[in-house]
Amino acid sequence: MKRTAFYSGSFDPMTNGHLDILRQCLSLADAVVIGVGVHPGKKPMFSFEERAELINKSVNDLKEAADVEVSVRSFDNLVVDAAADAGATILVRGVRDGSDLDYEMQMAGMNGAMAPGIKTVLLPASPDVRHITGTLVRQIARMGGDVSSFVPPPVLEALKGKVA
């Protein structure tokens, strides 16, 4: 039986922190669907299409090395519904610190109540990327700061184009 994991987020932009969690996730499943949350009320830096392209470029080496199928899709509904639509039985969430853990535990409880067949797996961020957030990356990039150690090379190039 194929084991599919659903890794959700805004990925605006994909960061090295996201890649860290994905790298860990690849050992848990035969296929990983990266679910990009698209919210009509929010104005992201990158469109869904741009985010999907950047994710695919950023994860190419990882998925080939792990021999795991990785795909990207958008969703604008409940994450458990999007995961079910993708055929996932695992919902992957990254945890950076205690405040993330508190929030993710509440979400895992709610998601488990709504979709008992989908199990939430919390993966701890590695110490060297624990401080990275997409929000901080966007802020630093917009203010002309160096984000090269926070994002994969394709994202760095795209950020330079957005803030130039």
Q: What is the pLDDT of residue 77?
A: 96
DSSP secondary structure of 27-65? TT-SEEEEEEE--TT---SS-HHHHHHHHHHHHHHHHHH
The pLDDT tens digits of the residues spanning 6-57 come to: 999 999 999 999 999 999 999 999 999 999 999 888 889 999 999 999 999 9
Are the C-beta atoms of 19 and 62 separated by less than 8 Å? yes
Residue 164 has pLDDT above 80, yes or no: no
Pairing of strands 69-75, 4-9: unpaired
Q: Which domains does the chain have, with CATH numbers?
A: 4-163 (3.40.50.620)
Q: What is the pLDDT of residue 1?
A: 78
Instruction: Kindly provide the b/e burial profile for residues 2-22, where b requires at least 16 CB atoms within 10 angstroms of the residue's own CB.
Output: eebbbbbbbbbbbbbbbbbbb
Residue 65 has pLDDT above 80, yes or no: yes
The pLDDT tens digits of the residues spanning 105-136 come to: 999 999 999 999 999 999 999 999 999 999 99
Residue 97 has pLDDT above 80, yes or no: yes
pLDDT band of residue 61 (cuts 50, 70, 90) is: confident
Helix (H) or strand (E) holding 136: helix 134-142
Are the C-beta atoms of 26 and 64 separated by less than 8 Å? no
Q: What is the pLDDT of residue 67?
A: 87
- The pTM (predicted TM-score) of the whole model is 0.94
Are the C-beta atoms of 9 and 150 separated by less than 8 Å? no
Residue 147 has pLDDT above 90, yes or no: yes
User: CA 29 to CA 99: how far, in whole Å?
Assistant: 27
Residue positions counted in the chain: 164
Beta bridge partners of 120: 91
